[in-house]
Amino acid sequence: KQEVTQIPAALSVPEGENLVLNCSFTDSAIYNLQWFRQDPGKGLTSLLLIQSSQREQTSGRLNASLDKSSGRSTLYIAASQPGDSATYLCAVRGGETSYDKVIFGPGTSLSVIP
Amino acid sequence: GAVVSQHPSWVICKSGTSVKIECRSLDFQATTMFWYRQFPKQSLMLMATSNEGSKATYEQGVEKDKFLINHASLTLSTLTVTSAHPEDSSFYICSAPSRWDTEAFFGQGTRLTVV
């Protein structure tokens, strides 16, 4: 059964810092991995999608990497801003027993202090 | 624009009543849709997989008689919370992948409050 973990559970940084969020998954036979942002009481905003054949994806100040063989992904946020404060969720799709299900990690709660 | 539409976005109901939540794929046909539940300060937990033309597949621990899923067409899946109780209050969100290798699209979510 696919399991997804995220470290750290919470993170508080001063504005301007670069930071890294980590995601690990147990079944490496995935189709893709997606990073989401969720603001309190709101739905999901898709940030980046990495296919299983890709190593990284970039969008603005965000860069996500994928090492499928080791079951790891990182989300790098450059020059953090208070508006980046939210919960960041890693989600993997696929797996030998999960097929096309999307399984979420527990999330990292980020707070960027002005 | 949104490719998956979920309705309603919020609902308040009395204990013992039933509530239906709709999930529609707008630009594509979805033979499979997923339903998730999120309790406060927790992540999204997969409840069930909705399959067009066949029975839904429920995750372990999810009561199939309480959470009725109907995949009526290739663009519509519904989740009915039957005999709702306050502990069913949660954020429910649906997802529809257009293809196995594309991103999964999510609805806006439904916040259910049972009083």
pLDDT digits (tens, 9 = 90+) for A54-109: 999 999 999 999 999 999 999 999 999 999 999 999 999 877 665 678 899 999 99
- Amino acid, single-letter form, for residue A36: F
Q: Is the pLDDT of residue B2 over 60?
A: no
Q: Which of chain B's residues have a Cβ under 8 Å away from the Cβ of A57?
A: none
Using CA coordinates, name the residue in chain B closest to A95. Answer: B100
CB B97 within 8 A of CB A102: yes
Interface of A with B in 12-31 (CB under 8 A): 31
How far, in Å, CA of A8 to CA of A18, rounded?
15
Higher-confidence position of A61 and A28: A61
Q: Which two tokens stand for residue B68?
A: 């009725």
CB contact under 8 A, A43 and B49: no
pLDDT for position A12:
97
SS (H, E, C) A24-66: EECCCCCCEEEEEEECCCCCEEEEEEEECCCCEEEECCEEEEE
What pLDDT does B97 receive? 80
* Residue contact A101–B46, C-beta within 8 A: yes
Chain B residues close to A102, C-beta within 8 Å: 34, 46, 95, 97, 104
Measure the CA–CA gap between A75 and A94, rounded to whole angstroms.
20
CB neighbourhood size of B27 (10 A): 11
pLDDT, position A54: 93
Mean pLDDT of chain B: 91
A93 → closest Cβ in B104, B107, B111? B104
- Pairing state of beta strands A19-25 and A72-77? antiparallel
**Cβ contact A42–B109 (<8 Å):** yes
For B27-60, give the secondary structure using H, E and C: CCCCCEEEEEEECCCCCCEEEEEEECCCCCEECC
Strand partners, A21: A75
